Chains A and B, each alone.
Chain A
Amino acid sequence: MGETVHLLNNPAVSERPLSDWARHAVAVVVEVVGSDLLANKLRELGVIPGAQLRVLHAGANLIIQIDEGRFAIRRRDAAAIRVSSPPAVSQARLAGQPAPAQA
């Protein structure tokens, strides 16, 4: 959880901690850092590589949407979730194809 600073300073890496993600944008999970209780709980809930999340509310606490469920998590805890933009969408854009429907 102390790796967030290094990530932010590295522009080459397109992945960021969820705590920095913009509201309403879809994020794809790259990984959940750590094997502590929180990390395990998040994985059990479906926060695994490839899963899509959305940030519904961003304040001291974040409200994130995992599949159809909504969960509140503290901002600093959310830093353990490393995410990036949905690859399918960006690849589709590059190829000039319409974006696939989001499940």
Chain B
Amino acid sequence: MPSSPDTVASVESVALIGNPNTGKTTLFNALTGLSQRVGNYPGVTVERKTGKLELAPGRNVELVDLPGAYSLAASSPDQMIAADVLLRQQPGAPPIDVVVAIVDASNLRRNLYLVSQLMELDVPLVVALNMTDIASSRGIDIDAAALSERLGVSVIPMCAHRREGMGELRGAILDALGRDSEQNRAVPTFPESLERQVEILRASTTSAGAAGDRPLSRVEAFRALIDEGGYGEERLVAERGNGLSKELARRRGEVGVSAPLSSIETEVRYSWINRILEGCLSQTTGQHQTVSDKIDLLLTHRLAGMVIFIAVSAFVFQGIYQWSEPFLGGINSLFSGLSSLVTDILPAGALRSLIVDGIIGGVGGVILFLPQIAILFLFIAVLEDCGYMSRAALLMDRLLSRCGLSGTSFIPLLSSFACAVPGIMAARTIGDRRDRIATILVAPLMSCSARLPVYVLFIGAFIPDRPVIGGWLGLQGLTLLAMYSVGTVLAVPIAWILKSTLLRGDTPSFLLELPSYKWPDPATVALRVYHSGRAFIVRAGSIILAATIVMWALAYFPRSQAVIDLHQEARSQLERQDLAGEAYGDALHEIDRAEAAQLLESSILGRAGHLIEPVVKPLGWDWRIGMAAIASFPAREVVISVLGTIYSMGGDHDETSTDLRNALGAATDGNGNRVITVPVALSVMIFFALCAQCMSTLAVIQRETGSWKWAALAFAYMTLLAYVGALVTYQGATFLGWGG
């Protein structure tokens, strides 16, 4: 829509669109910098990225980054977004005033396919001819002026990652804002028979449409006709009824060709492209083999490539653990300092407990994830920006296709060994929606780092230190390995089942572009890490906080006054005994711990533990373990401190403390029998290995899949799996007489 410079209209919108791997993100970042905002389009998982673009001092427009696409044809809601925004059909998205098509100068032919479709829209167009440096290094020479004349729109040569051509681009956009779409632009000509059917289809929607049905534009009608079985048709039929479906079939038949309509479109467009490029594009017959090709000889090699890939994966995995250590220490200190501060300031009571145990504990638990998330996304951003990610997906594809997934699921699943939260967020790179959801649903089965303390504690307390293989693998190590493997091994059939039932659909074609290798752009990487971290904190954080507070309340209320009075009496008695300093301190601690344990038992949580005891009996658990399991549902690590409280040890123990281990080992029930034996310990660990005890994970699943039903499914199937697994483990181990 043209707007004169004098009118103060609502902010103008400029859309940025192009093939994947054309430097679109680099360009977007360069043009908008920190003014970027990431939001949502309703109903899809694709993000809405916008930013402020300053074309001239005082002249700002909104720049909208549309998802990368090779064509406007859409087979899913996510792919439809670009077309919807451009055709002014996207609710909430303002109409686009200018389209900037970014094309890769070294792949011009293919990139112009999308441009040929954009030319058919009634919006001014500017072509940003990017990556001119790569083109010239390949001996490709493009006459931009001639191209511009042929196309009838501005063509701006540039190199976004070197920030060259930016000024000219801004000028061209500014220019385009002041006018209607170019009158003399070149458009592909389709066969008369096809155009006629498109027109008939259009006319039929105008007349037969129900009140309120918008008539279809030429582009919409064209796409609906050509994209047989595509998402556009699906949506229109859902809106307008099966009559449209029949009409479409009739029109397609009337075109009167035997070849698929989509092949007509591609042949017409590529003929148009070849005519346009004649005389504008020349390539000196240089090397066929580029530097990237040479690197790929090694990196995609069956053996060498795999070895390098394993090394890279190990490096990423290790990096997430090690590099986050110093930060975790710092964060822990920060939050315990904060807790102490509040404990000193406020009088004992519900409010203090809420703030210290509930809020600070909850928020601290969220922030604790941040270093791992940031580091993981740093790795992912670097690997993806430099181009290695697609090679990694290629190498893993064979293995993963056996489970019904594809190579692109690998990095999300690998990352989930560190923490499922960023792993699930990383699943965004998976193009196919069904694959993405299946990956997200099995990611929590990868034994994350929060489970490790549980394993360490129970293995240390119950598994004897016996050597198994020579001198380098003991029973303890073997058990740890088994725990890690259980989830991974089970993920295979589960992914397969999901893909065969709920997420059934045509096996999506695995067609992956391998972009040229390049040095990662620091700004792109930094912004990506920032946005991921922020998204996590805001979304998952709010839910975790809410859940932690609820769990706090369940563990706090009701306060048995009788218990409090009893222990207050004990403290008074202690005072009267007049003991020496340390003995006094220990005795006081003892009373505090006993009080905490009894209050916990009489709380809702404690009663819940008693209530589910019959259910967990077959697992070999008593009410205390049951209670600890329930309490750890928002976040697994909580189980350590809860166990500590239950066994009257106070809350500040960690998994390596021998006191807690001894206490667990020595715990007896009313009859003097040991409560926790080896089979019980194994069943507890298996339960924790397979259960979805992490509000953060469930929250992120909801956010990434766009619906709570998937999060609920993940919770349900994992809880069931965990229960059955623990049951089988306990009964089996008891039957086999393990642990004596």
Contacts and interface: CB of A to CB of B under 8 A. Distances in A.
A43 B262 contact: yes
B647 interface: no
B321 interface: no
A46 B274 CA distance: 11
B110 A46 contact: yes
Contacts of B302: 59
B546 to A, nearest CB: 41
A59 B299 CA distance: 13
A67 B290 CA distance: 13
A36 B75 CA distance: 11
A35 interface: yes
Given A35-B260, A38-B511, A61-B397, 14 more contacts: A36-B506, A40-B260, A41-B509, A44-B71, A49-B267, A56-B296, A57-B296, A67-B109, A68-B107, A70-B292, A70-B296, A71-B511, A72-B512, A73-B512
Contacts of A37: 75, 506, 508-509
B717 interface: no
In this complex, the member of B292, B296, B509, B510 whose beta carbon has the largest number of chain A beta carbons within 10 angstroms is B509
B260 A45 contact: no
Nearest to B21: A69
Interface of A: 32, 34-46, 48-49, 51, 54, 56-57, 59-61, 63, 66-74, 77, 101-103
Contact of B513 (A44, A60, A61, A69): A69
B106 to A, nearest CB: 5
B138 interface: yes
Where chain B touches its partner, the secondary structure class is mixed
Nearest to B70: A44
Contacts of B293: 56, 70
Contacts of A48: 263, 266-267, 270
A68 B266 contact: no
A44 B113 contact: yes
Interface string B501-545: 000001011111111000000000000000000000000000000
A10 to B, nearest CB: 21
Contact of B262 (A35, A67, A77): A35
A38 B292 CA distance: 26
Contacts of A73: 509-512
Given A37-B506, A60-B397, A63-B300, A71 B514 contact: yes
Nearest to A46: B110
Contact of B110 (A45, A72, A77): A45
B511 A41 contact: yes
Contact of B514 (A32, A43, A63): A63
Nearest to B393: A72
Contacts of A35: 228, 260-263
A24 B703 CA distance: 45
Interface in B257-290: 260-263, 266-267, 270, 283, 285, 288
A44 B394 contact: no
B158 interface: no
A72 B70 contact: no
A61 B506 CA distance: 19
A20 B255 CA distance: 35
Contacts of A68: 106-107, 138, 140
Contacts of B100: none
B509 A69 contact: no
Contact of B300 (A34, A57, A103): A57
A56 B300 CA distance: 11
B260 A39 contact: yes
In this complex, the member of A40, A63, A71 whose beta carbon has the largest number of chain B beta carbons within 10 angstroms is A40
A71 B110 contact: no
6 contacts: A38-B511, A40-B227, A43-B266, A48-B266, A66-B110, A67-B109
Interface string B234-269: 000000000000000000000000001111001100
Nearest to B134: A68
Contacts of B589: none
Contacts of B512: 71-73
B390 interface: yes
A77 B398 CA distance: 13
Given A46-B109, A72-B514, A74-B397, A38 B509 contact: yes
Contacts of B549: none
B388 to A, nearest CB: 13
B90 to A, nearest CB: 22
A67 B110 contact: yes
Contacts of B390: 72
A70 B512 CA distance: 9
Contacts of A66: 110
B642 interface: no
In this complex, the member of B138, B262, B296, B394 whose beta carbon has the largest number of chain A beta carbons within 10 angstroms is B262
A32 B110 CA distance: 17
B73 interface: yes
Interface string B368-402: 00000000000000000000001000100110010
Contact of B510 (A42, A77, A103): A77
Contacts of B398: 60-61
Nearest to A73: B511
A40 B394 contact: no
A71 B110 CA distance: 13
B725 to A, nearest CB: 33
Contacts of B285: 101-102
Nearest to A51: B270
A3 to B, nearest CB: 16
A61 B407 CA distance: 11
A39 B300 CA distance: 25
Contacts of B228: 35
Contact of B263 (A43, A57, A60, A77): A43
A45 B267 contact: no
In this complex, the member of A32, A42, A43, A103 whose beta carbon has the largest number of chain B beta carbons within 10 angstroms is A43
Nearest to B301: A57
Contacts of A57: 296, 300
A57 B512 CA distance: 14
Nearest to A24: B288
Contact of A44 (B73, B140, B397): B73
Contacts of A34: 260
Contacts of A42: 511
Contacts of B109: 46, 67
Contacts of A102: 285
Nearest to B135: A68
Contact of B394 (A36, A41, A61, A69): A61
Contacts of B270: 46, 48, 51
A45 B269 CA distance: 11
Contacts of A32: 263
Contact of B70 (A45, A60, A101): A45
